[in-house]
């Protein structure tokens, strides 16, 4: 299993637009990717309610996990979305 620890870049956290962008990109991935706060429950990045339910705020560290032949590429793409500012 591959893993990335990243810091949420959007000031609003993983809510509204940043969460929607993450879910849209996750849905397009060839492998499932989960996200969670360090030590907390991992949730499916393809579920908008689960992502928003993490209550991940700007500056929080989250962990992305994926398994499969394209896991590293998927994590790279989704980590870039999580760490981006998104104007928030």
Average pLDDT over residues 9-13: 94
Q: Where are the alpha helices (DSSP H) in the chain?
A: 16-27, 48-53, 71-83
Give the single-character DSSP code of 56: P
3-state secondary structure of 21: helix
- Are the beta carbons of 18 and 88 closer than 8 angstroms? yes
Angle between helices 16-27 and 71-83 (to 10 degrees): 170
User: According to the model, what pLDDT value does residue 86 have?
Assistant: 79
pLDDT of 88 higher than 60 = no
* pLDDT tens column, 64-78: 999 999 999 999 999
* pLDDT tens column, 13-67: 999 999 999 999 999 999 999 999 988 999 999 999 999 999 999 999 999 999 9
Structure tokens at 31: 């492998």
CATH of 2-83, one of 1.10.3720.10, 3.10.20.30, 3.30.1340.10, 2.60.40.10: 3.30.1340.10
Average pLDDT over residues 72-86: 96
Which residues are annotated as catalytic?
15
């Amino acid at each position: 299993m591959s893993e990335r620890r990243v810091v949420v870049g959007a000031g609003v956290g993983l809510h509204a637009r940043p969460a929607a962008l993450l879910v849209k990109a996750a849905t397009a991935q060839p492998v499932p990717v989960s996200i969670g706060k360090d030590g907390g429950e991992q949730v499916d990045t393809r579920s908008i309610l689960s992502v928003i339910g993490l209550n991940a705020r700007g500056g929080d560290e989250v962990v992305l996990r994926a398994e499969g032949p394209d896991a590293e590429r998927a994590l790279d793409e989704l980590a870039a979305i999580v760490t981006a500012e998104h104007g928030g």
